[in-house]
Amino acid sequence: MRHRISFLLLTALAACTTAQPTTNAPAPGAAILATPIPAATPVVAAKAMVVSAHPEATRIGVEILQKGGNAYDAAVAVQFALAVALPVAGNIGGGGFLLYRGADGQEGALDFRETAPAAASRDMYLDAQGNVIPNLSTLGHLAAGVPGTVAGMWVLHQKLGKLPWKDVVQPAVDLAAKGLKLTEKEAAGLNNQHDTFARLNPGSAYLKAGSWAAGEVIQYPDLARTLGRIRDQGKAGFYEGPTADLLVAEMQRGKGIITRQDLLKYEPKWRTPLHGQYRGYEVLTFPPPSSGGVALLQMLQMLEPYNLGQAGWHSPQATHWITEAQRRVYADRATYLGDPDFGRVPVPQLLEKNYNKQRMATTLPYRATPSAQVTAGANLPGYESDQTTHYNVVDAQGNAVSCTTTLNGAYGSKVVVAGAGFLLNNEMDDFSSKPGTPNSYGLVGGAANAIAPGKRMLSSMTPAILTKGNKLALVTGTPGGSTIITSVLQSILNVVDYGMNAQQAVAARRLHHQWLPDQIDVEAGALLPAAQDTLQARGYKLSPRGGWGRVEVIRVLPDGKLEGGADPRGDDAAAGY
């Protein structure tokens, strides 16, 4: 009975505006306004491929594969390498989601998302008047959830790894001890955060007299010792012993609330992947507490009836259809999605084809639907951070990994655990501090994502793997906060509907709509001027902004070779053999 009540409620919301006829044909001449697809050359490898957000992490992943490791060994090695090479997002003090598909068709979804400490409470970020206290959930010790990364990597390796654990962690230990050259982007990021690091972390390795410069070598001796304990003791090297002592001491110093018991109780969870279809492809993606997988499959269902290829890439009509799908899905996200261990999340109902068909039936053929008419809500401002990271691995046997891992904001809470050398996340901001009030990404949430002890905060991370004819076809994912879902969607559309190669798919300029605020974010060059005029005439508000996301794609070619696409917006690198 509960199942039917939920479905009826969803159906009623889907019909909350007057249904209008839709069409799957573009307006006459629409393709003339389509943005030309730029040329871009992917990396091609015969057997195996790694794509990550830093060249050193990619190199280490490939070396593990060449030494006889499988995709899961390489994923662990890349994860720990990113904790050294990419402190803005790579981590051992955060968490993430890892999706895999084995060459034998075996699949799994590993949730190593952070959890709220036992002392967390629903209103912990509100003042006496019930208002959200600025920065309390984003900056400093109280912003951190219990880290899940090390436990996640340990569980993954115990189940699927091939090489000895110490062999896949050692490259990161070496990288931290010997140091590495800062890229221009990483030097700029550390310099931008200098004052905050100095205030929260006196004596941190991330500080120096003067500014960092590209090409300078930065060493992390404390982090090297921490990684050494993880290498030697596995999960216990982080959640027990000296590392745990240092983390708890850091909490006490900064009035945080993570305790030894929180660390000892943390466990990653194996979840059942979600499945969907799109134009002959099987789409494998992540279930709640990721909102991304549900939202991705909803949008693909909504868009499949429309001829996006005929309309043209980023034409007004294709943009119209995609935006209206995004608008409706993000409204659903705000209402229904949260940690399934703490409440019923109506995933089957949200993925009912008839439900999503009805949602799109409320669109006007050539006119924007104001978000206020999709569901009640104000035009709320929001800020978008890109500081998550993603990596893909495909090994010579055909095992595939798609993993998104994060500290949340850039350098997380900006807190470095003294003596241990790693940054803590600020994932507590991904809860709804107050239902109806946007978080730092501009995302609105409800009671389903309220704070509770031990609960996992809702995420937009959307690792995805596509197969066709039961054969691996595409591995994709990205960082980008609330833009993750739409960026992953576009990477799939770019390949499936527009015939792009892997590098074109990740380099292509992006568009984003998330229901609130009611605007299309437009990356420079994504739309022709005439297309912008047409969309504005249809009632869309266009908001220009700099690039976002760091999409990574591995595409399997008809001859079995692998194409790697690494996002040029970062220091990302694809390599294989």
Q: 551 near 36, Cβ under 8 Å?
A: no
Which DSSP symbol is given to 534?
H
Q: What is the pLDDT of residue 1?
A: 39
Structure token digits, residue 486: 């739409």
The pLDDT tens digits for 194-226 are: 999 999 998 787 888 889 999 999 999 999 999
Average pLDDT over residues 240-267: 98
> What are the residues whose beta carbons fall under 8 Å from the beta carbon of 262, sequence distance 6 or more?
115, 117, 118, 146
Contact between 238 and 229 (Cβ < 8 Å):
yes
- Residue ranges for the known binding site are 113, 406-408, 430, 459-460, 481
Banded model confidence at residue 380, pLDDT cuts 50, 70, 90: very low
Residue 368 has pLDDT above 90, yes or no: yes
**Percentage of residues in the chain with pLDDT exceeding 90?**
82
Q: Do 523 and 546 contact (CB within 8 A), yes or no?
A: yes
The amino acid occupying position 262 is D
**Considering just the CA atoms, what is the radius of gyration of the chain in Å?**
23
Specify the DSSP class assigned to residue 131.
P
Question: Please, are residues 442 and 482 in contact by the beta-carbon 8 Å criterion?
Answer: yes
* Residue 218: strand pairing partners: 180
* Residue 6, pLDDT score: 45
Report CA torsion sign: 243, 244, 245, 251: positive
* Cα 514 to Cα 512: distance, rounded to the nearest angstrom: 7
Confidence label for 386 from pLDDT (cuts 50, 70 and 90): low
pLDDT over threshold 80, residue 119: yes
Q: What average pLDDT does the structure give for the chain? A: 91
Token couple for 521: 């974010």
pLDDT at site 24: 67
Please give the pLDDT value at position 25: 67
The values of phi and psi at residue 323, to 5°, are -65, -45
Q: How confident is the model at residue 369 (pLDDT cuts 50, 70, 90)?
A: very high
Residue 408 has pLDDT above 50, yes or no: yes
Torsion sign, CA atoms 296, 331, 378, 289: negative
Catalytic site residues?
388
Known binding residues for L-glutamate: 113, 406-408, 430, 459-460, 481
- Per-residue pLDDT, averaged over 58-85, amounts to 98
Q: Residue 431: phi, psi to the nearest 5?
A: -75, 165
User: Phi and psi for 472 in degrees, rounded to 5?
Assistant: -55, 135
pLDDT at 15 over 50: no
Query: Whole-model pTM?
Result: 0.93
CA distance 484 to 472: 22
Of 141 and 381, the structure prediction assigns the larger pLDDT to 141
Q: Is residue 359 within 8 Å of residue 16, measured between CB atoms?
A: no
Indicate the DSSP class of residue 508.
S
Q: What would the mean pLDDT of 239-248 be, rounded to a whole number?
A: 98
Q: Which residue has the higher pLDDT, 229 or 130?
A: 229
Q: What is the pLDDT of residue 541?
A: 98
Which three-class secondary structure state does DSSP give residue 356?
helix
Q: Looking at 89-103, 108-122, 241-255, 421-435, which range is the least confident one? A: 421-435
The per-residue pLDDT for range 306-340, each reduced to its tens digit, is 999 999 999 999 999 999 999 999 988 888 888 88
What six digits make up the tokens of 110?
């590993």
Pairwise CA distance, residues 330 & 520, whole Å = 13
164-177: pLDDT as tens digits: 999 999 999 999 99
pLDDT digits (tens, 9 = 90+) for 516-549: 899 999 999 999 999 999 999 999 999 999 999 9
DSSP letter for each residue of 411-466: TTTS-B-TTT--BPP-GGGGSBSSTTS--TTS----GGGB--TTPBPPB----EEE
Query: Omega into 38 within 30° of 0, i.e. cis?
Result: no
Distance, CA of 54 to chain centre: 16
Between residues 170 and 438, the one the model is more confident about: 170
Is residue 142 within 8 Å of residue 428, measured between CB atoms? yes
Over residues 472-488, the mean pLDDT reads: 96
State residue 436's pLDDT score. 59
- Minimum mean pLDDT range among 242-256, 276-290, 326-340, 473-487: 326-340
Structure tokens that stand for 265 in this block: 């109780």
Give CA–CA dist 154/359, Å, rounded.
42
> What pLDDT was estimated at residue 435?
64
**Residue 289 and residue 340 in contact, taking contact as beta carbons nearer than 8 Å:** yes
In 3D, which of 248, 184, 238 has the Cα closest to residue 211? 184
Return the closest-CA partner of residue 20 out of 353, 314, 336, 320: 320
Q: List domains and CATH numbers for the chain.
A: 49-179+219-577 (3.60.20.40)
